[in-house]
Structure 1
Amino acid sequence: MEDKRKQLIELLFSNKEDYISGQELSNRLNISRSAIWKHMNELKNVGYEMEAVTNKGYRIIKVPNTISEQALRWGLDTNWFGNLINYKPTVGSTQTIAHELAREGASHGTVVIANEQTMGRGRLKRYWDSTFGLGLWFSTILRPSSLEPKNATQITLVAAVAIARALVKHEVDVKIKWPNDIFVGDLKLAGILTEMQAEQHLVDYIILGIGLNGNQGINDFHPSVQEKATSIYQVTGEQVNLNHIFQTISKEFEQMYELFLEKGFGPIKLIWENYAYKMDEWITIKTNELWEAKLLSIQNDGALRVKDEQGTEHTLYSAEILW
C-alpha cells in the first residue's frame, strides 16, 4: 500500500505542470480508480493539496510542511545541487552517511537529508539538537576539482552567505557569526559543519552539513539550549514549509558556490561582512587566556581580523570566541 502511494506521488510530481487522469494513474499503478481516490484522500489528510478537474484529472498544488524526497524535489530550481537526494526519516548523523556515500563515489551535489538525527553534531563535535520533523538537517557532497585544500574552509563562509540570503527571502533577519553560525539577535538559528577528505594539493570531497531550526517552540529544545537557540517559528510566529526553505537555500548556495569558484573569495567576503554578527564590536577571545578584541573584518582567506585593547591587530584562523 505504501509503495503504491509513493509511486502515485512520484507520478503526480513528474507531471506537476499538467493534470494526469485517474484512468492513466489506474493503468500505470495497476490499481482500481476507487483505490486511486482513496490514496488521494489519504494524501490530503497528511497535508497535500490536490486539484481534481473533471475530464482532466489530478495535480498537486501544495505540499505539506514536513519534508519528503518528493516534496523536496517539487519546486527545486537548481542545476546540480540536490540532483540526487538521499532521504532518511531518522539517522544517527547525515554527515556520517554522506561520508560513506562520498567514499563510494557519490556525485557532486548529492544531498543526504533526514527528519531526525539521533547523533547530530556541530563544530568541535558538539551535540546538535535535531528534533524529528521540526528542522532541516542535511549534508551535501561537494567535489570542487579546482579548489586547493588550504581554501576549503572558505566553503563554510560561502554556505553562511547562502543561508543568510535565503532566510532574508523568507523574511527572517539574520546575522552570520564567525566561523559557522547563523544568528537572529543573540540566539542561534543555524549551524554549518564542513569536513574534507584531501591529499596534499587535491580535494577528494567536502561534506557540507547544515542544521537549521524551523518549527520548534521553546519547549522543543533541550533545556540546556533553550536560552541560546531559536527557530524560524519563534522569530516569525508562523510555521514554515521546510521543503521551501531547503529549496531556497539550495539555489542560493549553488549560485554563491559557483561565484566563489569563478571569482574567488572577494565577492563572498563583501556579502559576508554585510551580514556579520558584532562587526566593529568588542568580543572576548579564549586562547591560552581570555582577552578582549574588536572585530574588524574577515580576510580573503576567511580568517578573522581583530584588534586588541592595545591597538595591535591579530589574525585568527581558529579560536574559541565568547560572543
Structure 2
Amino acid sequence: MKGKILDILKSNSDDFVSGQSISRNLGVTRAAVWKYINKLKEEGYLIESVSKKGYRLKSCPDLLTYDEIKDILNTRYIGRHIVYYDSIGSTNDEAKKLAIEDSCVDGTVVIAEEQTSGRGRFDRKWASAKYKCINMSIILKPNIEAYNVALISSIAAAAVGMAIDECGMKAKVKWPNDIVVNWRKVCGILAEASGEMNRLNYVIVGIGINVNQESKDFSEEILDKATSIKIEKDKCVSRKMLLCSLLDKFEKLYDEFLKSENAERSLKYCKENSILIGRKIEVIRKNQITVAKAVDIDEMGALVVENENGVRERLISGEVSLHRVYHAN
C-alpha cells in the first residue's frame, strides 16, 4: 500500500493530491493514507502537507528500494525482485537462506543500506557506512558446469568496472575480486556457490561498493588502501543510478555468457583493465609468498603467472598482491 501511495505522489509530483482522492482510488481510509504518508516521511521522502489541498512529493531520498529504482531499471529479471533491508548482518548470508526456497526467483537481489557483519574473501570484515554504500547480493540459478563459476566473478568485475567508468573515472580490476581506483580499493566481490558434484544449486554474487563515503568514514588502518567514488570524484553520486547501471550491465554480460558458454566480453574488459598483468606480484599460498609476473587472464578466468624460471601456471584461487617494488619494473 505504501508503494502504491508513493506511485500516486510521483505521478502527480507537480500538484497536490488530496487524501480523499488517494483513499478513494486505493480503497482505504484517509487515516490509513495519513499513516503511510508519515512512514514515507520517516524514510526520508520530503512530502508537503497542506490543509484542504492534500499531499505533494517534493523530493525522494537516495534509497535502494525497488520503488526507487524500478522506473530507471532496464533489466528483464536481474533486480526485478529486491529484498530490501535497512540494516542486516550480511547480504550474502541472507541470500543463501533465500536461494534454497522454491519461491526464490533467478535474479533476486538482496540489498541492505548497512551491513554489520559484511565480509570479503577469507572472512575478512567489510565495513559499510549506512546510506553511503551499495551492499548487495545477486541470487543466480544457472544451468552451467560447476567449473564455470569463476567466470561469474569476472562478469561481476566487468559490470562493476563499466558502471564506475560511467561515473567519470577509470576503474581497474585486481584479480580475482577487487575493483580499484587510483590504486585504492573501491569495491569487493565475493561469489559463493552451492552444488552437488557438477550440478549447481545456486550462485551468490556479493558486491560491496564504496560510493559516497568520506575519508572520516574509513579507519586509519585502511585509509591508504580503500577509497570511495565520492573521494575520487570530489562529489556525491546517485547510488540509485549506479546500482541500475550495474544491474543492467551485469544482466547483459551474464546473458551473453549463458548463451555462448563463454565470457569473452567480460574477460576482455578484465584483461584490458587489469592492474596486475605485466607487473610483478606476490602470490600468497599457505602462508608462503612467491614472486611471479602476471601475464594473462585465460578463457576460464584464471590468472596466468610466470615464475623467475619462465615457467607458467594458472591460479584459479588464492590471494595476490602487487610486489612491493612493482613501480620499479
State TM-score, norm by structure 2.
0.85
Name the structure 2 match of 1:174.
171
Q: Which of 88, 91, 102 lines up with 1:91 in the alignment?
A: 88
CA contact (8 A) 2:294 2:305 kept: yes
1:17 and 1:10, CA in 2 relative to 1: closer, same or farther beyond 3 A? closer
Q: Is the 8 A contact 1:286 1:321 kept in 2?
A: yes
| 2:309 is equivalent to residue 310 of structure 1 | yes
For 1:290-301, list aligned pairs within 5 A: 290-301=289-300
Distance 1:59 1:170, change over 3 A: farther
Does residue 266 of the first structure (1) align with residue 241 of the second (2)? no
**Matched residues in 2 for 1:86 and 1:310: separation?**
51
CA–CA distance in structure 1, aligned partners of residues 243 and 271 of structure 2:
24
| Contact 2:13 2:58 (C-alpha < 8 Å) held by counterparts | no
1:114 to 109, 112, 115: 112
After superposition, the Cα gap between the structure-2 partners of 1:18 and 1:228, relative to the gap in structure 1 and judged at 3 Å, is same
Deviations 1:255-277 (A, max 9, x none): 01011112212332212211111
Output the amino acid matched with 2:291: E
Out of 163, 188, 192, the residue aligned to residue 191 of structure 1 is: 188
| 1:191 to partner: Cα distance | 0.6
Structure 2 gaps, min length 5? 323-329
Aligned to 2:300, what secondary structure does the other structure show?
Answer: coil
Of all paired residues, the percent bearing the same amino acid is 31
* Match of residue 148 from structure 2: 151
Unaligned runs of 5+ in 1: none
Mapped to 2, the partners of 1:174 and 1:60 lie a distance apart of: 36
Cα distance change on mapping 1:248 and 1:199 into 2, 3 Å: same
Q: 1:208 aligns with which of 205, 209, 230?
A: 205
Aligned position for 1:129: 127
Cα deviation for residue 287 of structure 1 reads: 2.9
2:251 to 242, 249, 254: 254
Secondary structure class of the residue paired with 1:269: helix
Distance change (3 Å), C-alpha of 1:131 and 1:300: same
Q: 1:8 to 1:281 in 2, by over 3 A?
A: same
SS in structure 1 at match of 2:30 = coil
Is the alpha carbon distance of 1:35 and 1:62 closer, same or farther for their aligned partners in structure 2, counting shifts above 3 Å?
Answer: closer
1:80 alignment counterpart: 77
Name the SS of the counterpart of 2:94 in structure 1.
Answer: helix
Q: 1:64 touches 1:241 (CA, 8 Å); kept in 2?
A: no
C-alpha contact 1:65 1:240 (8 A) present in aligned 2:
no
* Displacement after TM superposition at 1:133 (Å): 1.1
CA distance in structure 2 between the aligned counterparts of 1:196 and 1:10, rounded to whole angstroms? 37
| Residue in structure 2 matched with residue 245 of structure 1 by the alignment | 242
Q: For residues 108 and 16 of structure 1, do their structure 2 counterparts lie closer, same or farther at Cα, with a shift above 3 Å needed?
A: farther
For residues 75 and 140 of structure 1, the distance between their equivalents in structure 2, rounded to whole angstroms, comes to 18
What is the DSSP-based 3-state SS (H/G/I as helix, E as strand, rest coil) of the residue aligned with 1:140? Answer: strand
Q: 1:260 to 1:58 in 2, by over 3 A?
A: farther
The one-letter code sitting in structure 2 at the alignment partner of 1:168 is D
Aligned CA distance change for structure 1 residues 189 and 16 (closer, same or farther; 3 Å): farther
What CA deviation, in whole Å up to 9, does each residue of 1:176-220 have, x standing for no partner?
110001000210000111111111121111111100001111111
Distance 1:179 1:19, change over 3 A: farther
1:165 aligns with 2:174: no
| Structure 2 CA distance for partners of 1:309 and 1:66, relative to 1, 3 Å | same
Compared CA separation, residues 20 and 73, structure 1 to 2 (3 A): farther
Structure 1 position 116, deviation (Å): 0.6
> Following TM superposition, by how much is the alpha carbon of 1:66 offset from its aligned partner in structure 2, in angstroms?
3.6
Distance verdict in 2 for CA 1:99–1:171, change over 3 Å? same
- 2: CA distance, partners of 1:80 / 1:18: 32
The code of the aligned residue for 2:271 comes to E
The Cα shift of 1:241 comes to 1.4
Q: CA deviation at 1:321?
A: 1.1
- Please give the secondary structure, in 1, of the residue aligned with 2:87: strand
Instruction: Letter of the 1:109 partner, please give it.
Output: G
Residue 222 of structure 1 and its aligned partner are, at CA, apart by 2.7
1:235 Cα deviation after fit: 0.7
Q: What residue identity is the alignment partner of 2:289?
A: L
Change (3 A) 1:200 1:226: same
Q: Which moved more, 1:304-313 or 1:79-88?
A: 304-313
Specify the alignment match of 1:140 in structure 2: 138
Distance in 1 (CA, whole Å) between partners of 2:195 and 2:166 is: 35
